[in-house]
Structure formats: structure tokens, C-alpha cells
Chain A
Amino acid sequence: ETGVTQTPRHLVMGMTNKKSLKCEQHLGHNAMYWYKQSAKKPLELMFVYNFKEQTENNSVPSRFSPECPNSSHLFLHLHTLQPEDSALYLCASSRTGQMKESPQHFGDGTRLSIL
């Protein structure tokens, strides 16, 4: 139990579908992150939210749309995805996005497969 819960754990969708990934943290943290991990590749930072404000968008295509309604919840809305978007999507949180000594706590991810 990491204190960061991601749902669903697995998702299969067609390229024309719209779905959302959910992340919830119970750690009282104020920063949340989305990462993408493709097979045999390093984690790629996608988005950073600090106190509900987006502070980083790492050149992510617009077919990925994040939403952070409060410091405990983070969503990733998906639409018109491509096969190369199949990957493990990981959510993380930390006390704040500015504290360099604040380690991240990760969920176990959503395994996304695009047909």
C-alpha cells in the first residue's frame, strides 16, 4: 500500500474511444504527477500539478488531457489515442513540487492497451 491508488489497473480501448484514468492519494500531498512508461523504456514525465495548478506539460500531445480538481485527485482524460500510446501510466505524489528533498510516492499504474 503506497497511499496512491490508480484505477482502473488495466484498460483496453479502441482508437476512437474516450476514457479517463483516475489517481487518488491519501498522503496529504500537494503535488501530483503523470508519467508514461512504455515497454523497456524509462519513465517519461508527462504532467506536473502543484497545489492544483499545472506547472509542467512535457510536450504531451493534446489527445491526453489532465485534470486536477483538488490536491488529492488527478485524472488523465484520453481520446483518439494511437497504438503507440499503449503503455503503463503511473501517477505519483509528493509533499510539494518545489521541495527538492520531497520524494515521490507512486501508484501501481494503469496498463493501457490501444487496439
Chain B
Amino acid sequence: LAKTTQPISMDSYEGQEVNITCSHNNIATNDYITWYQQFPSQGPRFIIQGYKTKVTNEVASLFIPADRKSSTLSLPRVSLSDTAVYYCLVRGGGADGLTFGKGTHLIIQP
């Protein structure tokens, strides 16, 4: 079971780019990396998923180095509404990787 480590909290300001890095040193060959966002009293929302190199969608980018032992979620030009908890999960097959850690509490200030 690949364990993930993220910063507990981060602060930034509106309009800035925010990068949140997740360490997963024992990631397995077939594992995918998935990031979720959660607001208070809501369920987590899928942001982005990747296996290697770089993935980009309309809300974020995910950078994965060649060794895949870490990944970085990049949020361009954040706003106050991006204040949330962000979770990194590494998932293989079955129930493996369905365990959410404490996530990173991102606080965006004006």
C-alpha cells in the first residue's frame, strides 16, 4: 500500500499559482495518482489524475517526475473559492489506495 505524505497546510494569495507536492516513495508500477478537493460539509471532488509526466485539464495541472515518487498539483491563478482541503491518493487495484490521508488545507487570502 503506497503511503502518501503532503504538507498539512499552505497559504497563498488570490491570483497566485499554487503548487502542492505529494510524496509517495513506494508507489507501485501500476499505481495511478489522483487528486481530490473537499469543501466543508461536502464530499471530495475529483480534480485530476495521472500516471506519468504531465496532465492538464481546465482546472489544474499534475506534474509527475520520471521516478514517480512524488507528484505536484498546480493550481493556476487561485481565487478565494479555492480554499479547501486537497487530497493526494495513490491507487492500485481493489481497495488499495482508497484511504484518504489528512490532506493539505489550502487557505487563499485576498
Total residues of chain A contacting the partner, CB 8 A = 28
Give the distance to chain A from B110, nearest Cβ to Cβ, in Å.
25
- B residues less than 8 Å from A35 (CB atoms): 100
Interface residue tally for chain B (C-beta within 8 Å): 25
CB-CB nearest in chain B for A90: B43
Name the interface residues of B71-95: CB closer than 8 Å to any CB of A: 91-95
Q: Does B31 contact A (CB under 8 A)?
A: yes
Residues of B within 8 A of A104 (CB): 36, 44, 46, 98
Closest 7 CB pairs of A and B: A106-B43, A43-B100, A103-B46, A56-B95, A101-B32, A100-B91, A42-B100
**What 7 additional pairs, Cβ within 8 angstroms, besides A88-B41, A97-B95, A108-B42?**
A42-B99, A56-B94, A91-B43, A99-B93, A100-B92, A104-B46, A108-B41
Interface residues of A (CB under 8 A from B): 2, 4, 33, 35, 42-43, 45, 48, 55-56, 58, 88, 90-92, 97-101, 103-109, 111
